[in-house]
Amino acid sequence: MLQEMVFAGFGGQGVLSMGKLLAYAAMKEGREISWMPSYGPEMRGGTANCVVNISDERIASPVGSMFDVAVVLNLPSLHKFESVVKPGGVLIWESSTIKEPPTRTDINVHALPAIEKASNELKNVKVMNMLVLGALVGIMDIVKKESLIVALEDTLPKRHHKLIPLNEKAIELGMSLVSSGA
Amino acid sequence: MTAREGYKVVAKRPSTLLDKRMHYCPGCFHSTVHKLMMELVEEMEIQDKIVGVCPVGCSVFAYEYMNIDMQEAAHGRAAAVATGVKRMLPDKLVFSYQGDGDLAAIGTAETIHACNRGENFTFIFINNGIYGMTGGQMAPTTLEGQRTSTSPYGRDVAKVGYPLRMAEMVANFEGVAYSQRVTCTNPAETRRCKRAIKKAFEMQMKGLGTTFIEVASNCPSGWKCTPEESVTWIEDKMLPYFPLGVFKDVTKKEKKAEA
Amino acid sequence: MSADVRFMKGNEAIAEAAIRAGLQGYFGYPITPQSEIVEYLAIEEPKHDYVLLQAESEVASANMVYGGAAAGARVMTSTSSPGFSLMQEGVSYIACAQLPCLFVNVARGGPGLGTIQASQGDYFQAVKGGGHGDYRLIVLAPNSVQEMVDYCILGFELADQYRTPALVLTDGSIGQMMEKVVLPPPIAYKPNKPWATTGKPQDRERNAITSLYIESEEMEAVNNELQAKYKAISENEVRYEGYNLDDAEVVLVAYGVTSRVCRKVVDLGRDNGMKVGLLRPQTLWPYPTAAISELADESRVKLFMSVEMSAGQMVEDVRLAVEGRKPVHFYGRTGGIIPTPEEIINAIKAQL
């Protein structure tokens, strides 16, 4: 089965690394993957996005026009991607900063106050993207949490490994937020 | 070559110079400098160590005469090509052999950056102030007031700028180890020219950086004069603007520091 | 030994592949969207024996490649579209002097300074010349990060085999994309290049590398030699991949990232009862002309459609292969836009 996902937000919110980590974790689980970033000037503080495909078979197109999952962390991204979620698909949106909620009713919409939770409960807004990723795998069961941890270990430079427990906590918090229906 | 009976050999073609009729005009210093260089290759026993890069210009066929491994570069790119050769073969002795249009007009960027990187090869720069091969057009080193086919009323510096002094310019680069202007207007200067090239080769072998030998040269055909008149013209017109001398020598600096 | 599986960007993968192919010299100038190639090589440089030099321009890079290749080394450069334009002088000289080396063009949208987004607008430049004179490049067109690795190595090998420059023509999307790659073990590269200028020993004639043949007869003889070589390459090195061509009524022709999108179009089309197939040239020169020509003879084939991120370049080669036997259509986007499967499906429907 092919899962087409898009992650979007401001540059610096960690959307590209969120997608990369998910793709890497899926690769470790033996699946086919592709990660395609938007690149260019928008990386510098503007809106960035990446498309991640995970499949059991050879991935045809690394880009797509309709997605099974959209994760949006700012308003411009919500405007851009709400309309391209496939009917029945999943939309996760950052509800502590986006003040215009999505309007579609034919998709599964999950409001996630990720920035607020990361700041208040983890005292570190930088791991907000891991919290979102935790929520995503909590909802969709795309990869195992353990695979995400392996991905962190493999891709983070050694000097940052001390941050892995915090990232793990963020993933777990994200998972708990969706299981409790937040 | 053996001497005829009753004669003594005082000059001969070095074995490293191929026995071919050169296409250079009578009196042109290209043939002189080719011979000096190939004498050095023979004397220094470096035929198996040297790789040359020739330019686009009158000396485009230098590889037809020099019995060494050579590459023919695109116009102005000899310094980049020589960089590629030297970086791949750092133990070899590499030189570029270029004219003024090649080195100081179309290839200025390549020249300057090779010098600035201190590329460890030797530039042999033949400056005759004119484009010989294409029929006598103005060069970046054409003197003020000098007539060429594209400056028929004399070089107007207000319009086209001033002749470039390359040996002085490259001496300013940290990467350059040696820069000297020589000429071949008489036997003494010709011997000095050979010594300069030898010194450059030796410094390159020591890995000291870029070595740059500019030869104030002639073009009897382009200047529309006899070879003899061309020599006088160099002495009277060129050398006052392009003075002979050493503009940089890092080995001298070391000596001073020791003293 | 277990396979060396990595999750890499296309640009990083091609750099790693070059190292494993025994790279001896890289000369290049930074330009988006391929700078990761030189950056990767810069990081890895201390662990290996290759020389990495950031040149003052693409003009210089290409000529450094000339010098390094003529000195017998395995050398390469990489760039993106505007930079490849600057290299064309060197490419023409290298082709005529018959020097093996690898060029990589991670193309972006033009003309002019254009956009840094992906494009296939350099097809003509790559396969029809680009520089002056009658020459060809072996042009390899990867459509995945894995093929960035495979074709980098293949490019070096073919360049050596035929003493000719090879080009990996890819684009910003594949350069920036990350996928799983299986890396091959490093090659112990032992060049055998008796023609190289390495300093003349006593026991051989001098080697002269040149592209200058002032006598017409001599120049024609060199051209004939080049053309004979190009004929051999055309006969032996055509590479393409077919997908669902056996019963196809609509034949899509696409290379690079566009071929990935078209693979999806084939699946989507078949889900909707359209018999779509895909022919993907893996070598853009030599071109799979014969394979397309054979399809044009099939009565079931109704039409061809070349899908490109250009205003219509490769479509000319499809037309040359089809020779008027079937309609040849074109669908393309420019400006760095990758066409979506849906718009391609609609373009096909409009022709049926």
Q: Output the average pLDDT for chain C.
A: 97
Q: Which CATH class is domain C4-236?
A: alpha beta
Mean pLDDT across C221-249? 98
* Residue C117 φ/ψ, nearest 5 degrees: -80, 160
- Coil/strand/helix, residue B76: coil
Burial (Cβ within 10 Å: 0-12, 13-18, ≥19) of residue B11: exposed
> pTM for the whole thing?
0.94
Structural domain spans, chain C: 4-236, 240-351
Axis-axis angle for helices A145-155, A15-28 (nearest 10): 110
Burial (Cβ within 10 Å: 0-12, 13-18, ≥19) of residue B68: buried
Cis peptide bond N-terminal to C100, omega within 30: no
Total residue count of chain A as it appears in this document: 182
Residues of C in contact with A37 (CB under 8 A): 176-177
Beta bridge partners of residue C312, listed in sequence order: none
CB B136 within 8 A of CB B130: yes
CB contact under 8 A, C60 and B50: no
CB C345 within 8 A of CB C267: no
Q: What is the distance between the alpha carbons of residues B69 and B47, in angstroms, rounded to a whole number?
A: 8
pLDDT tens, residue order, chain A (182 aa): 899 999 999 988 999 999 999 999 999 999 999 999 987 554 455 689 999 999 999 999 999 889 999 999 999 999 999 999 999 999 999 999 999 999 999 999 999 999 999 999 999 999 999 999 999 999 999 999 999 999 999 999 999 999 999 999 999 999 999 986 44
- Report chain C residues touching chain A, CB-CB < 8 A: 5, 7, 32-33, 116-117, 172-173, 176-180, 257, 260-261, 263-264, 267, 338, 340-342
Mean pLDDT across B34-49? 98
Residues of C in contact with B47 (CB under 8 A): 199-200, 202
Q: Output the average pLDDT for chain B.
A: 95
- Domain membership of residue B77 as a residue range: 29-258
For the cut 70, the answer to whether the pLDDT of residue B256 exceeds it is no
Cis peptide bond N-terminal to C82, omega within 30: no
Nearest chain A alpha carbon to C32 = A40
- Coil/strand/helix, residue B109: helix
What is the pLDDT, as a whole number, of residue A41? 53
CB B244 within 8 A of CB B195: no
HEC assignment per residue over chain C = CCCEEEEEEHHHHHHHHHHHCCCCEEEECCCCCCHHHHHHHHHHHHHCCCEEEECCCHHHHHHHHHHHHHCCCCEEEEECHHHHHHHHHHHHHHHHHCCCEEEEEEEECCCCCCCCCECCCCHHHHHCCCCCCCCCCEEECCCCHHHHHHHHHHHHHHHHHHCCEEEEEEEHHHHHCEEEEEECCCCCCCCCCCCCCCCCCCCCCCCEECCCCCCHHHHHHHHHHHHHHHHHHHHHCCCEEEECCCCCCEEEECCHHHHHHHHHHHHHHHHCCCCEEEEEECEEECCCHHHHHHHHHCCCCCEEEEEECCCCCCHHHHHHHHCCCCCEEEEECCCCCCCCHHHHHHHHHHHC
C240-351 maps to which CATH number? Answer: 3.40.50.920
CB contact under 8 A, C261 and A63: yes
CB C99 within 8 A of CB C66: yes
Helix (H) / strand (E) element for B196: namely helix B187-205
Q: Answer yes or no: is B100 within a domain.
A: yes
Mean pLDDT across B99-116? 98
Nearest chain C alpha carbon to A64 = C340
Q: What is the distance between the alpha carbons of residues A53 and A32, in angstroms, rounded to a whole number?
A: 8
What confidence tens digit (pLDDT) does each residue in A137-157 have?
999 999 999 999 999 999 999
What is the pLDDT, as a whole number, of residue B169? 98
What confidence tens digit (pLDDT) does each residue in C320-334 have?
999 999 999 999 999
Q: Answer yes or no: is B16 within a domain.
A: no
**Other beta carbons within 10 Å of A120:** 11
CB A134 within 8 A of CB A171: yes
Q: What is the DSSP letter of B208?
A: -
The end-to-end CA distance of chain A, in Å, is: 28
Query: Which of B251, B138, A62 is CA-nearest to residue C260?
Result: A62
For the cut 60, the answer to whether the pLDDT of residue C14 exceeds it is yes
What is the pLDDT, as a whole number, of residue A152? 96
For the cut 50, the answer to whether the pLDDT of residue B8 exceeds it is yes
What confidence tens digit (pLDDT) does each residue in C309-318 have?
999 999 999 9
C24 HSE (CA, 13 A, CB side)? 25
Q: Answer yes or no: is B139 within a domain.
A: yes
What confidence tens digit (pLDDT) does each residue in A113-136 have?
999 999 999 999 999 999 999 999
Q: Answer yes or no: is B2 within a domain.
A: no
The domain that contains A87 carries what CATH number? 3.40.920.10
CB contact under 8 A, A62 and C32: no
What is the pLDDT, as a whole number, of residue B259? 46
The domain that contains B223 carries what CATH number? 3.40.50.970
CB B37 within 8 A of CB B50: no
What confidence tens digit (pLDDT) does each residue in C99-108 have?
999 999 999 9
CB contact under 8 A, A62 and C177: yes
A24 HSE (CA, 13 A, CB side)? 21
Assess A32–C contact: CB distance below 8 Å, yes or no: yes
Query: How close is the nearest chain A Cα to the Cα of C105, in Å?
Result: 17
For the cut 90, the answer to whether the pLDDT of residue C272 exceeds it is yes
- Coil/strand/helix, residue B78: helix
> Does B contact C via 3+ CB–CB distances below 8 Å?
yes
- Coil/strand/helix, residue A45: coil
**Other beta carbons within 10 Å of B254:** 11
Alpha helices in B44-103 (DSSP H): 78-88, 100-101
- Compute CA B227 distance to the chain's CA centroid, rounded to the nearest angstrom: 19
Q: What percent of chain C has pLDDT over 70?
A: 99
Mean pLDDT across C321-350? 96
- Domain membership of residue A17 as a residue range: 3-179
